[in-house]
Structure 1
Amino acid sequence: MFIILLFTSCDEYYNENYSFNTILVREWNSPICPEKIVLEKYTKNSNFIDLTGKDPDFNIICDSINKQIILSPYFPYINKINYDIRLIINDSLEYKITDIKSKLDTTHYTFTLGRKYYINNRIYSMMINGHKSDNKHADTNIIIPSEQGHALKK
């Protein structure tokens, strides 16, 4: 009885409040690894007119084995996303992300003594350049299929 109480009484809760800490651009079939990433924030439903912020600070990892780009902001985005996002890769490819739907979600990890619970604002769906995208199983990531990008004219 003591052992059972010991294992069930050691639960820990962490309210990280992350919305995302990584963007994964999947099916990246280009041998070129991006050098520049800019994430722009716009007032929700402003048709990308009312710019409210810009973030060019991303760590970029090209994973040629899994054919994806891993974009990690230097600081995770916290709180619920209540704005539209425009992601620009190398000044030539853009992803306009709108209709972002998220909910508070709890993930647990079991350890030897009890469990750890992490509470985050998980993004479960969005529109990417007019295409509905399911993001249910992405934890605190945003998953973007590369073929949904629009080429920018120069």
Structure 2
Amino acid sequence: MDTLKCFSLICLCFLVTSCNEYFNEDYSFQGIYLKKWKSSICPKKVILEKYVKKSNFKELIDSSSDFDINSNCLPKYDKNNRQVKTSTYNEQLYISPYIIYKGKINYDIRLIIDDSLEYKITNIESKRDTTLYVFTLGRKYYIDNSIYKMTVNGNKLKNESATLEIPTEFGRIIKKSKK
């Protein structure tokens, strides 16, 4: 009987330790958080423009407006315009690209929201990083690019995630939105 217990223990250990998976996703970033978003109005349009690094936003590489905005717009308001508590992340707007950006960021970014708010993101520094997710049987490791430093409209930021996390107040108003 001791042999059966020993064999079962060895099989269980093998099962738990051999289920490790590695995924080399190589994402540049998975989304954009605008922290302290205190507007009851969800943006209708987001444009992300990529420029040649240090070109002072003169040499456009690519432009995209394929983002999911409305499902992630927080805070939520009821019909009487009272804020509805939905989560601990209630004061942020999460902008999720439909197609995730891949590869190391070697360009400057201009983010424009509703043609009225602009974020010029420069000096982006990222590193290859591994994120560990532990499951019941084994582990999953995701290898991505984590952005750890950037400058947004002249403000230096430390960032410790696979998303761009930007305080809303760093935005520059380029024209007043109509209400």
- TM-score, normalisation: structure 2: 0.81
Matched to 1:106, the amino acid is T
Partner SS state of residue 3, structure 1: helix
Q: 1:78 maps to which residue?
A: 102
How do 1:1-154 residues align onto structure 2 when only pairs under 5 Å count? 1-60=10-69, 61-64=72-75, 65=85, 66-136=90-160, 138=161, 140-153=162-175
**2:51–2:57 Cα contact (<8 Å) kept:** yes
Distance 1:124 1:88 in 2: 22
Q: Percent identity?
A: 56
Query: CA RMSD for the aligned pairs?
Result: 1.2
Matched to 2:104, the amino acid is K
Distance 2:138 2:68 in 1: 34
Count of residue pairs brought into register by the alignment: 152
**1:21–1:75 Cα contact (<8 Å) kept:** no
Distance 1:68 1:112 in 2: 32
Gaps of 5+ in 1: none
Runs of 4+ in 1 over 3 A off after TM superposition: none
Partner SS state of residue 16, structure 2: helix
Distance 2:144 2:120 in 1: 23
Question: Per-residue deviation at 1:29?
Answer: 1.2
**1:109–1:116 Cα contact (<8 Å) kept:** yes
| Structure with the higher strand share, 1 or 2 | 1
| Structure with the higher helix share, 1 or 2 | 2
Which entry has the higher C-alpha Rg, 1 or 2? 2
Question: Per-residue deviation at 1:153?
Answer: 4.0
